[in-house]
């Protein structure tokens, strides 16, 4: 036997790395779990890059959402968001468009924030704000228009968190 069998030959090395799936964002080799997720999501991203891109898209989507609201509604939503400390943004509906080779968010709606270990959700949509239990079929929900005083919406959010 010639050489060390533990160290791959140049041909073996090239074959492994030329066929190994890599993240299209950071060029890291995908492990089995990431490869499975990549196939399911129809992308070539590692978990870290997918999470980073998702978070970045949520932030950009939030700005698109605010820009599609009337100015008074945008101010109300921003003030409520500023006062919802400890709530986590977990999901949003984002629509993308591709123009001039660049992909951007063209529409955004239905931003769902959760609190109380995920038991309570507040949803910001283009037609108002909904506070509800965070289940497929909520036990209860309350819809607020953008003309509802901010103090009432915030009080309802805090009361919901404190009862769950």
Distance CA 114, CA 119 (A): 7
For 47, half-sphere exposure in the C-beta direction (CA atoms, 13 angstrom radius) is 7
pLDDT in tens, 52-105: 988 899 999 999 999 999 999 999 999 999 998 889 888 999 999 988 878 889
Share of the chain above pLDDT 70, in %: 87
Q: Please indicate whether residue 20 or residue 2 has the higher confidence score (pLDDT).
A: 20
Q: Is 35 exposed, middle or buried (0-12, 13-18, 19+ CB in 10 A)?
A: middle
Q: What is the average pLDDT score of the chain?
A: 86
pLDDT of residue 4: 62
Q: Where are the domains of the chain?
A: 10-41, 70-163
pLDDT of residue 84: 87
pLDDT at 138 over 60: yes
Closest CA to 113 of 142, 80, 138: 80
pLDDT in tens, 107-131: 999 999 998 788 899 999 999 999 9
Query: In the sheet where 102-115 sits, what is the strand order?
Result: 88-99, 102-115, 120-125, 128-133, 141-144
Mean pLDDT for 41-59 is 88
pLDDT of residue 5: 65
């Amino acid at each position: 036997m010639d050489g060390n069998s533990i160290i791959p030959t140049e041909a073996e090395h090239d074959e492994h790395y030329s066929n190994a799936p890599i993240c299209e964002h950071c060029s890291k080799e995908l492990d089995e779990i990431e490869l499975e997720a990549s196939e399911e999501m129809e992308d070539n991203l590692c978990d870290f890059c997918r999470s980073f891109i998702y978070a970045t898209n949520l932030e950009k989507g939030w700005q698109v959402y605010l820009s599609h609201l009337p100015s008074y509604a945008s101010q109300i939503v921003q003030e409520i968001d500023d006062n919802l400390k400890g709530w986590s943004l977990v999901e949003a509906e984002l629509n993308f468009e591709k123009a001039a080779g660049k992909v951007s968010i063209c529409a955004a709606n239905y931003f769902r924030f959760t609190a109380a270990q995920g038991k309570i959700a507040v949803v910001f949509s283009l037609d108002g704000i909904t506070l509800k239990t965070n289940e497929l079929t909520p036990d209860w929900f309350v819809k607020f228009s953008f003309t509802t005083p901010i103090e009432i919406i915030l009080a309802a959010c805090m009361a919901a968190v404190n009862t769950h």
